[in-house]
Structures are given as C-alpha cells and as structure tokens.
Amino acid sequence: MNSIAILCSGGDVSGMNPAIKHFVEYALAKDLKPYLIYDGYDGLIDGDIHEAYFSSVSGIINRGGTILRSKRSSRFLDPSYRAKAKANLAKLGIDKLVVLGGDGSFRGMSAFCAEHNISFCGVPSTIDNDIVGTEYSLGVDTALNVIRSAIDNIRDTASSFSRAFVIETMGRDCGYLALISALTSGAELCLIPEVEYDLIHYKQKFAQELKNGRRYFIAVVSEGIKDSSQSIAKWFEDEVGIEARVTTLGHTQRGGSPTTYDRLMAYRFVTHAIDALLSKDGANSVICYNSGGFNYKDIETIAKSKFELSSELLGYLRYV
C-alpha cells in the first residue's frame, strides 16, 4: 500500500480540520495509507509522523484551527535538517505530501521535493487570500463571517452612542479582508494598503453628513495602511467632530467553526490534491481555484509575481 502524508505550515485557518478529515477518508478510499505530520516542517524533522485511521479524525470537522498544529520552521532552511526529514519519510514509505499553507510554505516544500524525489501538492490556506494564481484560499470565508458578525455587533453600539468606530482587520499588506468586509457591511470608510488615500477628501463629506442627520460612522481599515487605527479615530474626533473608538479584531479572525463553504472547499481542494499526486499530472504544484474550477500551478509561477487585488474589487472602493 502506497503511503501519503499531510501537514500544516504557517498560520492556521478554519478549514484545515475539515481538510485533514477528508484527507484521511479519501486516502483510505483510494487504497493509500494516510499519515498525519504534527507541528509542520518541525514534525518532519523530528519524526512526529503517525499513521491515521477514521478514528483519528472523528469529530473534528466543526473545529477551527488544526489538530496537527502548525509552526514556521527555521531548521527546515538547513539542508542537513531536510535530509533528516527525508529519512523519516523513507522509513515509513511516504513519497507523497499534501501541504496546507501559504506561498512561503510551498517554496520550502518545492526545494525539499527537488532535492529528495518527493511529490507534493499545496492547498492554499490563508485568511489573507493573497496567494498569486488562486481566487480563493481555505479559511477566507470563515474569517469574513467572523468580521461580518463583529461589525454587525459594533454597529449596534455605534448607533446607540452616536460614535465612529474604526475596525482594524488582518491581512498584512493585502487589503482583501478589509475591502470585502467594508463592501458587505455598508461601511462609510475603507482604507487598504493598495490604494493611496487622503483623509482631507473625506472631511467635508463626513461633516456634511453629520449636519444632514448621520449619527455614526463605520470605518474598516487594513492593518497594513500607512496610519495607525488610533490616528484614524483621532482624525474622526478632531476633524470630523464625532467621538470615536477603535476595535482591533486580531486573531479572532483566524479562529471559529468553519463555515459550510470552507468545509466544502476543504473537501474539494483535498480531493484534487490527492488526485493530482496519484495521476502525477499535478505533482509538485499548488491546486488553485479560478472561475469556478480547479487547476494546478507550479510554485515558480506563484512565487514570481506579487499578489494584486482584482481591478473589479478595487473599482468598487470608490463607492464606499
């Protein structure tokens, strides 16, 4: 029986556990022996690799995070540690890997596979949704729903106290979460790293809206913008003339029970990943989702370009 393993690398996302569950079940259905690797690439190096059974993944589909845990491994950059990882896999007869992570994780795995004749398929897994070549990454829908729920709750207080609320989302240098959340929550202001802004542009508009009866504002900002959220709140108070508060959502966006859509996408991503490794057509690639379908892209195609938000989404920003 051929062996196959799965690991998580980089930040955790809701959707990883459904992916792990389906990995085990689908591998067994395909007459493969599934293994679970704990603690990411460190687990490869330390041999924390265990054969999986149906019971190993029972009851995890509704849980956020990952039962495999995840780490960013500096040791994996060292060729001697990668050789140790290969030896651990060879002892168990594992020559196929499914990797849940981001582009950095995929680049590390690509180097490892080139050195040691291992096949891998990457599943994009990041709430930032900033992987080149795929319109969707696992965990994004759950994160957006966490943000939506938070904004809906904050709106109640904003309207009750006649305040402006500045709500900061994650995303590093990518404004996807902030932009989509602003569009779908009816925010009055959205600031993202991809678009230059001048608050003077909004001052007269917002002041006039207050005169016309507006009683509160919702501003959604990405963590990667040039100004701090606190400074945006101070601008509301000093320039617009309304009391303001800041809510930084932080790591609440990475957790929570996976949405139905993320559970379904986990199922689909993993199915295509295992099929790619069995057919070898998509081996040493990343499974991407575009225009309603799946396709395989090599890591160089993904790594050589900088992620950019679509012109369509950016076009909507002018109406916020």
- Same topology for domains 3-139+258-305 and 140-254, yes or no? yes
Can you tell me the distance from the alpha carbon of 206 to that of 238, in angstroms, rounded to the nearest whole number?
12
Can you tell me the distance from the alpha carbon of 17 to that of 25, in angstroms, rounded to the nearest whole number?
13
Can you tell me the distance from the alpha carbon of 83 to that of 99, in angstroms, rounded to the nearest whole number?
18
Can you tell me the distance from the alpha carbon of 196 to that of 122, in angstroms, rounded to the nearest whole number?
33
Place of tokens 């896999």: 89
Q: Which CATH class is domain 140-254?
A: alpha beta
Give alpha helix (H) positions in the chain: 16-29, 40-46, 79-91, 103-116, 140-161, 176-185, 200-211, 229-235, 260-279, 299-303, 311-316
Q: Which of 12, 103, 128, 141 is catalytic?
A: 128
* 57-70 tens-digit pLDDT: 999 999 999 999 99
Per-residue model confidence (pLDDT) at position 114: 87
This prediction has a pTM of 0.95
Residue 163: closest CA among 238, 241, 239, 229: 241
Domain locations in the chain as residue ranges: 3-139+258-305, 140-254
Can you tell me the distance from the alpha carbon of 181 to that of 140, in angstroms, rounded to the nearest whole number?
11
Can you tell me the distance from the alpha carbon of 90 to that of 247, in angstroms, rounded to the nearest whole number?
49
Q: Is the dihedral of CA 229, 233, 234, 236 positive or negative?
A: positive
The terminus-to-terminus CA distance of the chain in angstroms comes to 56
Q: Which CATH class is domain 3-139+258-305?
A: alpha beta
For every residue of 238-260, DSSP letters joined together read III---EEEEE-GGGGG-SPPPH
Can you tell me the distance from the alpha carbon of 14 to that of 31, in angstroms, rounded to the nearest whole number?
28
Contact 190/221 with Cβ under 8 angstroms?
yes
Q: Is the dihedral of CA 184, 187, 191, 196 positive or negative?
A: positive
pLDDT one digit per residue (tens) for the chain, 320 residues? 799 999 999 899 999 999 999 999 999 999 999 999 999 999 999 999 999 999 999 999 999 999 999 988 889 999 999 999 999 999 999 999 999 999 888 988 888 988 998 999 999 999 999 999 999 999 999 999 999 999 999 999 999 999 999 999 999 899 999 999 999 999 999 999 999 999 999 999 999 999 999 999 999 999 999 999 999 999 999 999 999 999 999 999 999 999 999 999 999 999 999 999 999 777 889 999 998 899 999 888 887 788 999 999 999 998 88
Contact 197/213 with Cβ under 8 angstroms?
no
138 backbone dihedrals φ, ψ, rounded to 5°: -60, 135
Residue 128 annotated as catalytic: yes
